[in-house]
Amino acid sequence: MRNEVDPSAAIAPQIYRLLRQAIVTLEYLPGQRLSEQEIGARFGVSRQPVREAFIKLSEAGLVRILPQRGTFVVRISMRDVANARFVREAVEVAVATTACSVAPPEALDRLNELIALQREAAANDDQRLFLRYDEAFHRTLAEAVECASAWPFIEDVKAQMDRVRYLSLPAASPMSRLIDQHAEIVRAIAQRDARRAGDAMRLHLREILNSLPRLAAAHPDLFEDDELPAHAREAANATSGRDVAPA
């Protein structure tokens, strides 16, 4: 997070991006206190833009602002992650099924391009790059159904999940598996099979539920002491039989 800010552009959004990245990549750990003063000094800006960044972070659920006490990185909450996942699944499944009706062929080409780039990143074992292409894939799909203005909402929701993904990087769901799921989604859309496209997206976005409880148990210091809500247990059960590794 040593990037300098560009004083010719608006500062507050830059600070927000940098802090969000630092929190999501666990450079800032849960429980850590963030000081407006200190962050401002580090980047050579005043407290005001830092404060505005804090407000956005709190709306994304990454920090908790306690007036007159301090601003703290929140611990990862299985409940919040599951709820974010629920919203994201709802929206992106709708995007995938709608894409079957309205996505132009060029969009499918772009998606296949991104899948090829993902395979390349996987071949080089570059997980960071893979995550970038993964995000681009989902954003491109949203744009394909003319829902570009809906993507910012997904992006806000995603923050909760991204922190878990970075935490699971060393032993994440293998990239090849996720890429195959992407390919299946695009295939279903190309064949205009709405049900299959939705199911494929649903399965894809439920991957995180496989690792979440295990990660929470392995890192009790990083997690809030809460449980999965009922809808997440439902969702996990619905897919648990389908995606076990072959013996």
Partner DNA sequence: CTCGCTTAACTGGTATGGTAGTATGGTTAT
Partner DNA sequence: ATAACCATACTACCATACCAGTTAAGCGAG
Q: Which residue has the tokens 């994440």?
A: 172
**C-beta of 102: minimal distance to a copy of itself in Å?**
4
Between 27 and 234, name the residue whose CB sits nearer to a copy of itself: 234
Footprint of DNA (CB under 7 A):
8, 10-12, 34-38, 40, 44-49, 51-52, 54-55, 65-71
Residues 241, 244, 246, 247, CA torsion sign: negative
Query: What backbone phi and psi angles, to 5 degrees, belong to 132?
Result: -65, -45
- 98: contact with a copy of itself by CB under 8 A: yes
Q: What gap in Å lies between CA 89 and CA 207, rounded to an integer?
A: 11
Strands 70-73 and 63-66: antiparallel
- 231: contact with a copy of itself by CB under 8 A: yes
Between 73 and 235, name the residue whose CB sits nearer to a copy of itself: 235
Of 42, 45, 1, the closest CA to residue 23 belongs to 1
**C-beta of 127: minimal distance to DNA in Å?**
32
**C-beta of 194: minimal distance to a copy of itself in Å?**
11
The listed partner (DNA, a copy of itself, none) that binds 83, CB under 5 to 8 Å by sort, is a copy of itself
CA distances 118 to 123, 179, 181, 223, Å, are 9, 7, 12, 30
**C-beta of 93: minimal distance to a copy of itself in Å?**
7
Q: What gap in Å lies between CA 40 and CA 27, rounded to an integer?
A: 17
The listed partner (a copy of itself, DNA, none) that binds 30, CB under 5 to 8 Å by sort, is none
CA–centroid distance for 106 within its chain: 25
The listed partner (a copy of itself, DNA, none) that binds 89, CB under 5 to 8 Å by sort, is a copy of itself
Q: What gap in Å lies between CA 47 and CA 72, rounded to an integer?
A: 16
Q: Which part of the chain contacts a copy of itself (CB under 8 A), choosing from 114-122, 123-131, 140-148, 167-175?
A: 140-148
The listed partner (DNA, a copy of itself, none) that binds 230, CB under 5 to 8 Å by sort, is a copy of itself
Between 34 and 141, name the residue whose CB sits nearer to DNA: 34
Q: Which residue has the tokens 């990143």?
A: 121
The listed partner (a copy of itself, DNA, none) that binds 109, CB under 5 to 8 Å by sort, is none
Of 187, 163, 189, 171, the closest CA to residue 57 belongs to 163
- 229: contact with a copy of itself by CB under 8 A: yes
Q: What is the per-residue burial (b if ≥16 Cβ within 10 Å, else e) of 40-76?
A: beebebeeebbbbbbebbeebbbbeeeeeeebbbbbb
Q: What gap in Å lies between CA 16 and CA 235, rounded to an integer?
A: 32
Binding residues for a copy of itself (CB under 8 A) = 10, 52, 55, 59, 61, 67, 79-80, 83-84, 86-87, 89-91, 93-95, 98, 101-102, 145-147, 149-150, 152-153, 156-157, 229-231, 234
